Amino acid sequence: MQFEDTKTAYALKSDKELKRALFLFKVISKKKIVRLGGELILLALRLGLPLNSLLRRTVYQQFCAGTEEQDSIKIVNELASFNVKSYMHYAAEGQKSEAGMDLNLEKIIDTLLIASENKALPFSVFKPTGLGKVLLFEKKSGGIAFTESENLAWERMLERIHKCCSVAKKNRIRLLIDAEESWLQKAIDDIALDLMKQYNKKQPLIFTTLQMYRKDRLGYLKELMDIAKNEDFKLGVKLVRGAYMEKENDRSNQRGYPSPICISKEATDLNFNAGLEEILSNLNLCELFIGTHSEESVTRVLKFMKENKLPADDRRIWFSQLYGMADHISFNIANAGYNVIKYVPYGPLKEVIPYLIRRAEENTSVQGQTPRELELIQKERLRRRKIKGSQKK
Ligand SMILES: Cc1cc2nc3c(=O)[nH]c(=O)nc-3n(C[C@H](O)[C@H](O)[C@H](O)COP(=O)(O)OP(=O)(O)OC[C@H]3O[C@@H](n4cnc5c(N)ncnc54)[C@H](O)[C@@H]3O)c2cc1C
């Protein structure tokens, strides 16, 4: 695959947007700046300092579609004109009150209803801790008993999730469940499994997420496959490497338990590839939604599809990247006819700050990807400059 075709990769980006992206990726490639920047932003927002304009013109515009659904729909339709599909998400991760979680539910339902009328939105998503309190997931995962009021709050969270699933089913929109920190994940896994049993009888409607940086996830994938075979339902798996590595390692160090994360990047890659192979050789049981910005991982799936003569638009295989990242992968494989879908977050600036800080941190910790983004953006800017130069002659 020609990932270097920058004309295709950046067809949607104006010269100004490319210049901004170049500046931004250069800044966030510096680990110290991002660490300090993230803390300063949170402090400044707490103190009410006016940072909005700076953030809006930089990270927000790069990684977020806008404040309202309408802003996202505009971007969704632009992406669709290049055969790139989307899934929208109200990325307000700061909402921790019951009212905030009800608002999150409302937004998920809204995106499902919007998706029901737009073929460019075949999936939707929810983050479990956007619908229930983190502490409850932690207690449930650790086998700690709830108080009476916690029991009620847990029931309310389950009701919210069931509401999302029934609207997704009614409108035939597939629903992804994000994976979170390992100390919350057991409860999420159990909910996801119950939902898959209930909603995935003939085809996967519900997709769970497996973070392959975790040592135990390959075993868990095999366990899921056995359960699905025995109980006659289908699996949907969003396969990712995992976003919380540093937090996981810090916590396990502080509390003195073995880290659940693979010992090295190479070990994570081996685990990820083994998971991929397991799914690809069982596609009639388990459909694949691969969330990665790794050219190597995408190439691996493309090679499998070619060797096994699968059509590029096989509905059981989806490639996904985040809005504002890895356009060279998304646009080039979409151009070749593969199923590509961008995660398109939106929400008020203040609410999406945690999401934006995670993106910035990810771009400092993901060795190799940021230099690649920079290299390709520079290549495209040079290509455009040459064309302009020759037009002037
Ligand atoms: C569409 C989409 C959806 C996503 N959804 C989720 C989600 O629900 N939950 C979630 O946690 N993440 C999610 N992610 C983020 C994802 O898990 C990765 O953090 C991110 O995509 C980078 O991994 P990569 O495969 O793109 O790139 P690569 O550059 O190949 O891999 C980087 C990743 O490798 C792992 N890694 C790096 N160094 C080491 C090391 N020393 N030891 C062990 N492992 C290491 C880490 O997971 C790191 O993020 C999603 C990503 C995408 C694109």
Alpha helices in 93-236 (DSSP H): 98-116, 134-141, 148-171, 182-199, 217-231
pLDDT at 42 over 70: no
Question: pLDDT per residue over 152-166, tens digit each?
Answer: 999 999 999 999 999
**Residue with the two structure tokens 């003939």:** 202
Question: Residue 349's pLDDT is what?
Answer: 85
Residue nearest to atom 21 of ligand 1 (CA): 292
Amino acid at 280: L
8 Å CB contact between 105 and 353: no
Distance 211 CA to ligand 1 centre (A): 8
Question: Residue 196's pLDDT is what?
Answer: 98
Question: pLDDT per residue over 337-351, tens digit each?
Answer: 999 999 999 998 888
Going from the C-alpha of 25 to that of each of 160, 190, 246, the distances in angstroms are 37, 38, 21
The answer to whether the predicted template modeling score (pTM) of the entire model surpasses 0.85 is yes
Ligand 1 pocket test: which of 295, 359, 366 has the largest number of ligand atoms within 8 Å of its C-beta? 366
Question: Residue 355's pLDDT is what?
Answer: 86
Residue nearest to atom 1 of ligand 1 (CA): 291
**Residue with the two structure tokens 């069931």:** 162
Question: pLDDT per residue over 303-314, tens digit each?
Answer: 999 999 999 999
pLDDT at 195 over 70: yes
- Percent of the chain as helix, strand, coil, to the nearest 5: 60, 10, 30
8 Å CB contact between 212 and 240: yes
Question: Residue 53's pLDDT is what?
Answer: 76
